[in-house]
Amino acid sequence: MTEVSRFFLGRANSATKLILDLRFIRIIAVILVGAGLSMAGATFQSVFNNGLASPNILGVSTGASVGAAIAILNNAPIYVIELAAFIMGIVTVVLTIVIDSFMHSKSSIGLILSGIIMSGLMQSILGSMKYIADPEDQLQSIVYWEMGSFMKVDKQALYSVGPIILVGIIFLLITRWRLNALTLDLATVKTIGINPKLNRNIMIAFATLLTAAAVCLCGVIGWIGLVVPHISRQLVGDDNRYALPMSAGVGAVLLVIADTLARSVSVNDIPLSIVTGFIGVPIFIFILIKGRNIGV
């Protein structure tokens, strides 16, 4: 083999390694997060019968941001930041459920109000952390985490968090018919042999798991979990047997497009929440103008 052949072969191998190690890993992560957040949003909207419900409704995103901020302030490595975000997101939801139990509310409104309370508390804690953070290093990392990005996703992160998202997606796909049952009146649900409170809590738990894992992997990404379920229902109707899989597909495609724009528009990655905001706001306005009943 000549030197020229070795040179071009080496360049080809390097390009292949770059595609497999960086681009492919990132695309898989984007697809999983897009599908997961969209399915979580569709699940929350069905469980709470509220078209404005989103994966942030129980405070999981703000709680995860607080966990990430704590790790960033302690100069922890990226895998510790991801773990702290995941744990704090789950802890926030547990506290939300505890507050709801003390309120003795018999409807989902109490749980939503508890989520608003915890979100407000976590936002205050996060604001305090940003105030004491080093403005030249730590503050930028915290703000960038709040806005979401796949720039730092690698094999280790995908292998550790990806299976959690995949399990959540598969579970919701298998049990999606239960979401239809939960929209029925209480007497009918009990007649068909379903415990409404237990099933509601299970669905909320898996939707929360998806949200926490997504935030753990790439930070907070807005609008996907709110807008995509409405797009899917416009396409296939309100039946969750079809709307939930459609949400997964549309969410994955939409986030791939947003991530491609985030990488292509500027030399540095634009935070994803900025891109998804520019995409999601016009779509949501169009849905409202069209007169779609969002079930508020």
Where do the H-state alpha helices sit in the chain?
Answer: 3-18, 25-48, 60-73, 78-103, 108-132, 138-147, 155-174, 177-182, 186-191, 196-218, 224-236, 240-264, 272-289
Is 234 a domain residue? yes
* Alpha-carbon torsion (271, 274, 277, 282), positive or negative: negative
Is 49 a domain residue? no
> pLDDT tens-digit profile of 263-273?
888 777 888 99
- CATH code, domain with 214: 1.10.3470.10
Is 17 a domain residue? no
Q: Label residue 13 by pLDDT band (50, 70, 90).
A: low
Is 27 a domain residue? no
> pLDDT tens-digit profile of 111-165?
788 888 999 999 999 999 999 998 888 888 888 788 898 988 888 889 888 999 9
Cα–Cα distances in angstroms (integers) from residue 279 to residues 19, 273, 276, 285, 291, in the given order: 27, 10, 5, 11, 19
Per the structure, how many domains does the chain have? 1
**DSSP letter, residue 2:** -
> pLDDT tens-digit profile of 74-110?
988 878 888 888 889 889 988 988 888 887 766 667 7
Cα–Cα distances in angstroms (integers) from residue 76 to residues 64, 83, 119, 141, 269, in the given order: 15, 11, 24, 12, 22
Cα–Cα distances in angstroms (integers) from residue 224 to residues 81, 228, 279, in the given order: 23, 6, 9
> pLDDT tens-digit profile of 217-236?
888 998 999 999 999 999 99
Backbone angles phi, psi at 75, to 5 degrees: 55, 40
Is 10 a domain residue? no
Backbone angles phi, psi at 221, to 5 degrees: -120, 115
Is 3 a domain residue? no
Is 210 a domain residue? yes
Range of the domain at 69: 36-44+54-289
Tokens representing 52 are 């404005």
Is 19 a domain residue? no
